[in-house]
Amino acid sequence: MGIQRSSSASVTQVSHGGLPANHGAPAGARHRPLPPGAHSFDDANAQSPGAGALPDYVRDFCQGSLPEAAMRRIGFPWSQVLVERTLAEVAGTMLTAELALKHGIACNTAGGTHHAFRDFGSGFCIINDLAVTAAHLLDRRAVRRVLIVDLDVHQGDGTAAIFRLDPRVFTLSVHCEDNFPHRKQLSDLDVPLPRGVRDEEYLQVVKQALQSVLDSFQPDLVLYDAGVDTHELDALGFLELTDFGIYEREKQVFRMCMQRGVPVAGYVGGGYSADLDEVAWRHCALHEAAAITLHDCLT
């Protein structure tokens, strides 16, 4: 795992390992490997009552003893590399949140595994890094309220289910209604969109929803799942955002949080294409928008 500073405006960025070439996920589902670092997550982190993943489930996954049906639901074949990459991803999400609390904005080159529930994985998500991170910070009393903003094209069903009865966490999901998961969970605020929504309408919907929640819930931290599967050319999404629309979305989220003095940690979320460079370019909007927003706030 590595920590880097963006040269343009000193945005802290976290990056870490990836999957082997034969992992079986859709193209663009995960990222290229980097050496692991000292920040770690394992089943010991799942012991607290508010944990986002149950310790028995984490242990069984790490030991390779999950049933075959459970691995099929996840969508990856089990391997030790997958275990190491998964634990590094969760650790990276935790570290990114801690850095956001310190610096105001921080971004991860992975993260946003929002389909994982406490005791099972789904949709290429094994451990819900957003839930684990929120629970960890709340249990440490580093924060009192966490807002999870999920703008991936797919509803954050695992996150919604995990925090359904926890008033310390507000889950906001703006997603395409006619898409995976077909059985939706109940977020604190769900904004389902029809297929084909374009930039202008989408940005207005996000602005209204986020403004309302920021002002009413008044979070101490925002965890932002910035999935780019909302793009018009994405293989698994049915919305019609352009490159410009995604970039404007990222700036809008960062700006609205920073204007209220709320630290925000950004995670890349989903994005699917046969061309990995295209997906990587779309994800870059998150980091560029963070740098621009931080620069504007400091000048």
Q: State which amino acid sits at residue 5.
A: R
Percentages helix, strand, coil for the chain, rounded to the nearest 5?
40, 15, 45
Identify whether the C-beta of residue 96 lies closer than 8 Å to the C-beta of residue 2.
no
Q: What is the mean pLDDT of residues 148-165?
A: 96
Phi, psi values for residue 288, rounded to 5° = -65, -45
Q: What would the pLDDT profile of 63-88 be if each residue is shown by its tens digit? A: 999 999 999 999 999 999 999 999 99
Q: Residue 223 pairs with which residues in a beta bridge?
A: 148, 265
Is 115 an active-site residue?
yes
| HSE (side-chain half, CA atoms, 13 Å) at 236 | 24
What pTM, to 2 d.p., does this model score?
0.88
Show the DSSP H helices in 104-242 as ranges. 129-139, 157-162, 199-217
| HSE (side-chain half, CA atoms, 13 Å) at 100 | 34
Q: What would the pLDDT profile of 25-43 be if each residue is shown by its tens digit? A: 444 433 333 334 435 555 4
Place of tokens 């003893």: 65
Of the listed ranges 3-17, 92-106, 135-149, 164-178, the least confidently predicted one is 3-17
Catalytic residue among 114, 115, 136, 231: 115
Containing H/E element for 240? none
- Local confidence band at 117 (pLDDT 50, 70, 90 cut-offs): very high
